[in-house]
Structure 1
């Protein structure tokens, strides 16, 4: 009798487990490209759970049960190929003009705004007027980035010749060059400067951040045509996170603005090809 009861209990437990696993098994996986773009996406060795993208995906996963959003590592130049090949379904914090011409995609406005700003070292008598003229100053720039002040010409020789630019592959290095007097001005997103000062509190009050903006980033999510989730569905999820304050909780601490009432009306069905 006890053996029979044991079998019944095991059978019930298995049935409950299968019922519980059913909805999870039915979830459609959405692969989101994770290319190094701090503070949005950090390097894998810095922890795959760090950065703003994993926080956003966690919020999207908690908000519904039909889709499971996961990060799939890629790189800035490789993400286009991964997108076309179907290795990633979505690329976030994008602009359709950043090399996506000719690649079929639909667009969802994330309702987030960041900006590229000029940064100098605080010195006596130095104010916002310091950023009005760039020529004659030593600039620390990120190699490969397109800057508005240079008419989006990313050629290193052009930048070095016309703006006395030193190029690196590290925003930290560029800001440290400014702090240590090896460059006059660096450019970085407002969110990155905020992240840098949180990580290096010893430099608090030592950086002068421009009110002048080189370019504004109105972040968008790009979906491939065969993605498991549609632009309309994703737009509704962003609107849900905007309304319940989760977007602000994730992004406001990094000085990234959440634009009100955008995600509900910003989904486009257009496909670029």
Structure 2
């Protein structure tokens, strides 16, 4: 996102709620081996793919099994890891993923389904698949280690003038940041224009008190910035006074 924003001439304020820590232990390898042995395995993020590739690269790319990515970024990570035929939904979120034919109730009932992920986030996927009768084989291959917001970033947020843009791809990240910020900084952030990667995230932003929320059609940085640009153009058009119509009978 930082590189994409810089290409558009935008400056960023980094409010990272966590850092990614890949696991490298026997328990993670055992759980991953079971998940990857399932006929179908779902990957919830690019970090999940990278962590799995570091732990068990041969099992990850084993032929004859279906690998499913939650979105295009995760599918690209699978391709780089040796899985060029992974599936991904057109609608790149949990709801879209659950519409894929290999995850239909008739296909997963009574069968193992692997889930390669991290603790927290995307709880809808395992819950929905378990309701369809799947035996979930979960492997948490990385962790999100909480970080306190950088005081320098908080200061930049508090001092920011003009419009702010908040790309939103994680409801958990949004809530962590709002909880961690000082009250005035959180209030300033809530005045940002949110561009959400899914309808669910848009609803979460509205419930969290953000007044201006628009939606992107994909979670990739370019798609988020395109949606933000389109929303800004529409807002400016609404604010522009209507053109004065010329008199029909000038004197």
TM-score by length of 1: 0.30
Higher helix proportion: 2
TM norm structure 2: 0.32
Bigger Cα Rg = 1
Q: Which has the higher contact order (CA 8 A, sep 6+)?
A: 1
